[in-house]
Amino acid sequence: MLIKILLEKNVTASKLCEIIKIYPQVLVNAKVDSNKKYKYEENKEISKAIQILEEEFSGNGRTLIRPSGTEPLIRVMIEGENIDKITSKAHDLAQLIEKNLN
């Protein structure tokens, strides 16, 4: 697909890369009871907080919340323009998860 676009648009790959905006990314781990790490979506307070974050960063970043496959952790990853803001938001959500699932 990439080669097709390059040929159709008659541009170089480096030229196409100019339109991609790279955002900083923060990953924070929330330590939780291993029996509860898959239940974070069932908790209304956590679900609401995740929904708010997803809406806040929609179109201008992204969020990814997922349980670790090997450790008693829930991983909170946020990308966005402002590193201080995403760091704060990721830590806040991780603390909320820990409070509710321990």
Residues facing 31 on adjacent strands:
73
pLDDT per position as a tens digit, 61-88 = 999 999 999 999 999 999 999 999 999 9
Residues 6 or more apart whose Cβ sits within 8 Å of residue 12: 6
Helices (H) and strands (E) in the chain, counts: 4, 3
Q: How confident is the model at residue 13 (pLDDT cuts 50, 70, 90)?
A: confident
Neighbours of 37 (CB within 10 A): 20
Fold of 21-101: TATA-Binding Protein (3.30.310)
Token pair for 27:
């990953």
User: What's the whole-model pTM score?
Assistant: 0.82
Sign of CA dihedral 77, 55, 89, 91: negative
What integer best gives the mean pLDDT of the chain? Answer: 93
